[in-house]
Structure 1
Amino acid sequence: MRNNHIDIITLGCSKNLVDSETLMKQLEANGYTCSHDSDDPEGDIVVINTCGFIQDAKEESINTILSFAQEKDEGRIKSLYVMGCLSQRYVQELEEEIPQVDRFYGKFDYMKLLEDLGKAPVPSCIGYRHLTTPSHYAYIKISEGCDRRCAYCAIPLITGRHVSRPKDEILHEVRNLVAEGVKEFQIIAQELTYYGVDIDGKRHIADLISDMADIEGVEWIRLHYGYPSQFPYELLDVIREKSNVCKYIDIALQHISDNMLKRMHRHVSKEDTYELIRRIRREVPGIHLRTTLMVGFPGETDDDFRELIEFVKWARFERMGAFAYSEEDGTYSGENYDDDVPEDVKSARLDKLMAVQQRISAEIEAEKIGTTMKVIIDRKEGDYYIGRTEFCSPEVDPEVLVPVSCGILGIGSFYDVTITGAEEFDLYGEVR
């Protein structure tokens, strides 16, 4: 156990990761050394940044807290702090059930940890982060919260209403990161296409991304977590016209049948969704779409599910994830619908949906054989360098494997790679 060494454990999404990185910068400015997600935590202080989105995430967070509570009981750590979404929502219950935790913080007050440690924020570090990602890419969080009230989602209950960061603040952060060597930016928010509405009633995501793309040194910008209702189509002009804005967007669609969309409170119709996909593909040729779909929502019939399967076959999403519905405390569906789709039916539907997507993904990736693509190298593993194209977000999308026999490649550098082989979720290539 090392004094003045703090282990930060981050659970959940990349938005949580940004919070952890912000806290780490301040802790280090106050004289601490920090490790992130270490396989063998060795500090005398542990901070756990929790997720509270769905049941599995909540269980992982609770189990992690309990594990470190035992470490504290056995004298292997001195102090244990918890922050993030789970403690934002369930602080009273957690305080009663896990007294070994020195203090719980929510989603927005975690900087109070500095005060509890006898420290204070360092003004010169405000707006800076300790990056835990490879040094060539970073996540940029452009807003907090969500004004959507989807029937199944607990996020608005945790994070509150949508609040956009000031554009100048975001662009300043991007410039600082470019100066530190970052080339690729993953733009994240609970609902990025809503950016700016809380400021003046207008959507400003296109303006923001356009201005970001004009910053010298920004090589790639990739967009995550859009929403299909009232989609700002001017954003497509930016994606098409700015060469450093990746032809990639992540829009969680959840379902396609009007029955499900209405019950989910998605404020979009089946035909709206089909037209959205048509228009995106028409206005940005070659774009790769990522989406997330849900099966087993209360009231989902066999016909609803068949519509979803046919939609996936039609849309041919380049990237797709799916999950089975789980009832969440305080949500509209949790309080007003019976969770009436049996677990075995949910599981079977999920398996069938992903099997369809697996075939589509394999076909799409195979079509890239023989093409030459711009690839950024993330790391070296064994006999391969591992990289990504503009169509691949870190950790969730396919990677490009380049044999080390091609020569010495620089981590964080771009290369033209000719694709020589493809699997369902990965590509193989050689530097041209």
Structure 2
Amino acid sequence: MRTKLKKDKVNIITLGCSKNLVDSEVLSGQLAAADVNVEHESKKLDHNIVVVNTCGFIDKAKEESINTILEQVELKKRGKLDKVYVTGCLSERYKQNLEDEIPEVDAFFGTMELPFLLRKFDVDYKAELVGERLLSTPNHYAYLKISEGCNRTCSFCAIPLMRGKHVSRSIESLVNEAKNLVQRGVKEIMLIAQELTYYGLDIYKKRELPKLLHALADIPGLEWIRLHYAYPSKFPMEIIDAMKERENICNYLDMPLQHASNKMLHAMKRQITREEMEDIIGEIKYKIPGICLRTTLIAGFPKETKDDVEELKTFLKKIEFDRVGIFTYSHEENTTAYDLADDVPSEIKEQRAQEIMEVQQEISFMKNEEKIGKTFKVIIDKKEAGRYLGRTEFDSVEVDNEVIVHSKTKLLPGDFVNVKITSAFDYDLEGELVN
């Protein structure tokens, strides 16, 4: 161990989803409030302590998390680091295995063990600091986690094993945090949860996402509110009513469907049929004709056949989602699907995922072409290679389209501008500033 000549500096590395990112921001806020020097994803390599916030969602994510831990352990062995701590979903799920396999890590913590992690820095968890996050995103947008955990029993999903049962935060605490974020320059908030539509059932005894949306929409200066991860079964249409009534709730909904074959939906324990999904989507589009619908799918679930894949492709062509993401099935222990044989070879899973995305690519290009000549409100995210990159209300950060904006006027991140679309690509748009 090298002799420490200066004060500790902590670097937090975050893997996985936006919910993990928020957890890292909360950790940063607690440390900073206690006068601990902390950064997120620092490239300067001037820190002596690392916290790796891991993901345990699917095989690829687990592999990335383990590789990252091993990289940090190697730095510790070479005397470049004093301490390596590990937290997050992988640590929650496989703590004992990880302690046995990677003993060089100083301590492992689960998803609910923030107070114990803080004690390693002689810091007490302060409940009054909830909302005092150190943002790792650009200042103009932020994620707002409205609940933790999930009560759904999807057969493929290990999230309840890592995050526990659904626990909603109060409307008051969320409004206060959102106001705090807006005061710091945030103009767009993305609501995230394992399952948005369940919000409020535990603490208010009824679904209260619409009430929360109206309360957030009342905050002056909050220009865009975006909804991620809504479960389709028994979807509360009041959410769409709130979206329609409030101008600053984006006409955007992320609704992971996972499949469209009834056989697969039943095996996945999704509590919904293809026909019911079509009815829900039809009603949503009827209420808000221009809404952007994003979904996520799984390719290669056990016993999936070519016919199931063809049915899914037919469904995509019929519904014409604006955005689609796809995962290949990951065989997760302690899920109910783990009892099934993982009988679709990995190369077939990849091939099917590619086939499905080729269908979506055509739909995406067609929808983008329809936007040529039209003018959209765009938020500027950054300047890159001499041009500005932004998004419309129909595009979320990192997962959706970008708009390449040509402007002789200087623009800043967080600026809202009107852009006339001049060119369309498979997944991006290009346009010119309109005064």
After TM superposition, the score normalised by the length of structure 1 is 0.97
Contact 1:187-1:222 within 8 A present in 2 as well: yes
Aligned counterpart in structure 2 of residue 345 of structure 1, from 344, 348, 351: 348
**1:360 and 2:397 are equivalent in the alignment:** no
Paired residues for 1:142-153 under 5 Å: 142-153=146-157
1:424 matched residue in structure 2 = 426
2:374 matched residue in structure 1 = 371
2:274 matched residue in structure 1 = 270
What letter matches 1:411 in structure 2?
P
Structure 2 CA distance, aligned partners of 1:126 and 1:207? 21
Residue 122 of structure 1 and its aligned partner are, at CA, apart by: 4.8
Structure 2 CA distance, aligned partners of 1:123 and 1:266? 36
Counterpart secondary structure, 2:229: strand
Counterpart secondary structure, 1:225: coil
- 5+ residue gaps in structure 2? none
Contact 2:313-2:356 within 8 A present in 1 as well: yes
Residue 110 of structure 1 and its aligned partner are, at CA, apart by: 2.0
Q: Which deviations, in whole Å up to 9, do the C-alpha atoms of 1:10-40 show, x marking residues without a partner?
A: 0000000001001101111222222211334
Contact 2:406-2:433 within 8 A present in 1 as well: no
Q: Which deviations, in whole Å up to 9, do the C-alpha atoms of 1:368-424 show, x marking residues without a partner?
A: 1111100111111112011111011011111111124x3111221100111111111
Residue 121 of structure 1 and its aligned partner are, at CA, apart by: 3.3
Q: Which deviations, in whole Å up to 9, do the C-alpha atoms of 1:129-168 show, x marking residues without a partner?
A: 0001010110000000000010000001111111101111
- 5+ residue gaps in structure 1? none
Paired residues for 1:251-270 under 5 Å: 251-270=255-274
1:39 matched residue in structure 2 = 43
Structure 2 CA distance, aligned partners of 1:398 and 1:126? 32
Aligned counterpart in structure 2 of residue 77 of structure 1, from 81, 85, 89: 81
Structure 2 CA distance, aligned partners of 1:179 and 1:348? 47
Contact 1:23-1:111 within 8 A present in 2 as well: no
Contact 1:29-1:122 within 8 A present in 2 as well: no
Q: Which deviations, in whole Å up to 9, do the C-alpha atoms of 1:252-288 show, x marking residues without a partner?
A: 0001111111111000011101101111111111000
What letter matches 2:380 in structure 1?
I
Aligned counterpart in structure 1 of residue 413 of structure 2, from 411, 416, 419: 411
Counterpart secondary structure, 2:123: coil
Counterpart secondary structure, 1:86: helix
Structure 1 CA distance, aligned partners of 2:347 and 2:89? 29
Paired residues for 1:293-312 under 5 Å: 293-312=297-316
Structure 1 CA distance, aligned partners of 2:229 and 2:126? 32
Q: CA RMSD of the aligned region, Å?
A: 1.2
Structure 2 CA distance, aligned partners of 1:39 and 1:310? 46
2:123 matched residue in structure 1 = 119
Structure 2 CA distance, aligned partners of 1:124 and 1:283? 40
Q: Count residues with an aligned counterpart.
A: 430
Paired residues for 1:204-353 under 5 Å: 204-334=208-338, 336-353=339-356
**1:87 and 2:91 are equivalent in the alignment:** yes
What letter matches 1:245 in structure 2?
I
2:140 matched residue in structure 1 = 136
Structure 1 CA distance, aligned partners of 2:109 and 2:62? 16
Aligned counterpart in structure 2 of residue 392 of structure 1, from 384, 387, 395: 395
What letter matches 1:48 in structure 2?
V
What letter matches 1:344 in structure 2?
E
What letter matches 2:404 in structure 1?
L
Structure 2 CA distance, aligned partners of 1:38 and 1:423? 34
Structure 1 CA distance, aligned partners of 2:59 and 2:27? 26
What letter matches 2:400 in structure 1?
D
Counterpart secondary structure, 2:202: helix
1:380 matched residue in structure 2 = 383
Moved more, 194-203 or 142-151: 194-203
Structure 2 CA distance, aligned partners of 1:218 and 1:156? 32
What letter matches 2:386 in structure 1?
D
After TM superposition, the score normalised by the length of structure 2 is 0.97
Contact 1:184-1:219 within 8 A present in 2 as well: yes
Residue 201 of structure 1 and its aligned partner are, at CA, apart by: 3.0
Counterpart secondary structure, 1:418: strand
Q: Which deviations, in whole Å up to 9, do the C-alpha atoms of 1:155-191 show, x marking residues without a partner?
A: 0111111110111111110011111111100000000
Residue 314 of structure 1 and its aligned partner are, at CA, apart by: 0.6
Q: Which deviations, in whole Å up to 9, do the C-alpha atoms of 1:295-316 show, x marking residues without a partner?
A: 1111112221111010000111
What letter matches 1:308 in structure 2?
L
Residue 343 of structure 1 and its aligned partner are, at CA, apart by: 2.3
Contact 2:402-2:427 within 8 A present in 1 as well: yes
Q: Which deviations, in whole Å up to 9, do the C-alpha atoms of 1:184-239 show, x marking residues without a partner?
A: 00000000011011123311111111111111111000000000001011111111
Contact 1:138-1:184 within 8 A present in 2 as well: yes
Paired residues for 1:52-67 under 5 Å: 52-67=56-71
Residue 111 of structure 1 and its aligned partner are, at CA, apart by: 2.9
- Identical-residue share of aligned pairs (%): 51
Contact 1:142-1:165 within 8 A present in 2 as well: yes
Contact 1:228-1:251 within 8 A present in 2 as well: yes
